[in-house]
């Protein structure tokens, strides 16, 4: 390879930007072309300048309505709204994309799961079984994309300090056989490993508890260094992300009541490992 070809390769590597960085760069270019500062654009789209700086740096993504207002102010004809819709389309279901962005930035995550292991903790085989259950004619390529997107979320757990992660599981999660006994044994052993490594705090609400505050829905609460707390509530093929302080406060209160009703972490670990052993005996 000639020196010129090598220089060309280096230029190509420098010119590549991940999608989030590319979005931010294009936003900065359009803002500067319009002669606006971050403060001025932020005021026009009802968005704090600090948050806009995060958009331009690729650290955060705007919500769809934010992107539409940006397009309106900058006169970009829907460009940023369209760009936003293409980000992470293969990775996440449409109703979860905003929550996935928030999850990536959270410093603390508190979850309650009513029937399934939360996505961030799912093993590949467990995730595949979950996805297949919702597809009458599953496309193998699409299944691979979805599983890859879900298991990639586990990278958040690689940092031993953040996010602080607390999860409460209904005992239903342990007893619902997803993918067969071998898949369940692997999944529960993985949860136990994360607990023993002090990476997550986990509690189980046993059947004997009866009614409790969050029994009807999956709830995720997220805290951030530079933004208000948010809550994500999910149902079948639907999900909603909320930042209304009153609603988030009520959901946190419900979560705390459920946590008080759950088994302590040590007893929860014993139960999880006991159920995993039962599945292993069935393999």
Tens of pLDDT, residue by residue over 28-59, are: 999 999 999 999 998 998 888 888 898 998 87
Judge if 173 and 264 occupy the same domain. Answer: yes
Work out the pLDDT band at 279, boundaries 50, 70, 90.
very high
Q: Are residues 129 and 225 in the same domain?
A: yes
Q: What share of the chain in percent tops pLDDT 90?
A: 59
Does 243 lie in the same domain as 181?
Answer: yes
**Bigger pLDDT: 233 vs 89:** 233
Cα 121 from Cα 202, distance rounded (Å): 11
Average pLDDT estimate for 18-36: 88
- Is the model's pLDDT at 239 over the cut of 70? yes
Q: Do both 35 and 169 map to the same domain? A: no
DSSP 8-state secondary structure symbol assigned to residue 234:
E
- Tell me how many domains the chain contains: 2
CATH assignment at residue 77: 1.10.260.40
Phi and psi at residue 170, to the nearest 5°: -65, 145
Query: Is the domain of 60 the same as that of 101?
Result: no
What confidence score (pLDDT) does residue 13 get? 33
Query: Last residue of a domain, which of 61, 86, 111?
Result: 86
Residue 154 sits in the same domain as residue 226: yes
Q: What are 147-168's pLDDT values in tens digits?
A: 888 888 888 888 888 899 999 9
Give yes or no: residues 147 and 235 share one domain. Answer: yes
pLDDT of res. 17:
58
Q: Per-residue pLDDT averaged across 85-104, rounded?
A: 73
pLDDT at 139: 82
Q: What is the pLDDT of residue 83?
A: 82
Rounded to two decimals, the pTM is: 0.70
127 and 8 co-located in one domain: no
Mean pLDDT computed over every residue of the chain: 88
The answer on 238 and 194 residing in a single domain is: yes
Query: 118 and 176: one domain?
Result: yes
| Cα–Cα distance for residue pair 150/117, rounded to 1 Å | 12
Task: Give the CATH number, domain containing residue 159.
Answer: 3.30.870
User: In this predicted model, which residue has the larger pLDDT, 216 or 112?
Assistant: 112
End-to-end CA distance of the chain: 55
Domain that holds residue 24: 3-86
Strands (E), 62-174: 108-113, 164-170
């Amino acid at each position: 390879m000639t020196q010129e070809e090598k220089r060309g390769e280096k230029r190509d590597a420098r010119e590549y930007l991940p999608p989030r960085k590319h979005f931010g760069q294009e936003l900065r270019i359009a803002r500067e072309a319009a002669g606006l500062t971050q403060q001025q654009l932020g005021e026009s789209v009802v968005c704090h300048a600090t948050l806009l700086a995060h958009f331009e740096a690729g650290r955060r993504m705007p919500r769809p309505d934010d992107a539409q207002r940006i397009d309106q102010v900058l006169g970009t004809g829907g460009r940023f709204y369209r760009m936003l819709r293409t980000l992470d389309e293969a990775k996440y279901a449409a109703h979860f994309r905003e929550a996935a962005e928030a999850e990536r930035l959270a410093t603390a995550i508190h979850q309650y799961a009513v029937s399934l292991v939360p996505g961030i903790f799912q093993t590949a085989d467990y995730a595949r079984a979950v996805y297949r259950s919702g597809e009458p004619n599953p496309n193998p390529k699409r299944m691979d994309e979805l599983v890859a997107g879900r298991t990639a979320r586990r990278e958040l757990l690689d940092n031993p300090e953040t996010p602080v992660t607390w999860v409460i599981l209904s005992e239903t999660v342990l007893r619902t056989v997803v993918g067969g006994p071998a898949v369940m044994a692997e999944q529960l052993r993985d949860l136990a490993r994360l607990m023993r490594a002090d990476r997550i705090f986990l509690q189980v609400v046993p059947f004997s508890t009866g009614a409790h505050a969050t029994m009807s829905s999956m709830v995720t609460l997220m805290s951030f260094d530079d933004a208000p707390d948010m809550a994500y509530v999910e149902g079948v093929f639907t999900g909603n992300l909320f930042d209304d302080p009153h609603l988030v406060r009520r959901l946190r209160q419900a979560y705390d009541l459920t946590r008080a009703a759950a088994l302590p972490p040590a007893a929860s670990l014993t139960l999880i490992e006991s159920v995993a052993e039962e599945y292993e005996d069935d393999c």
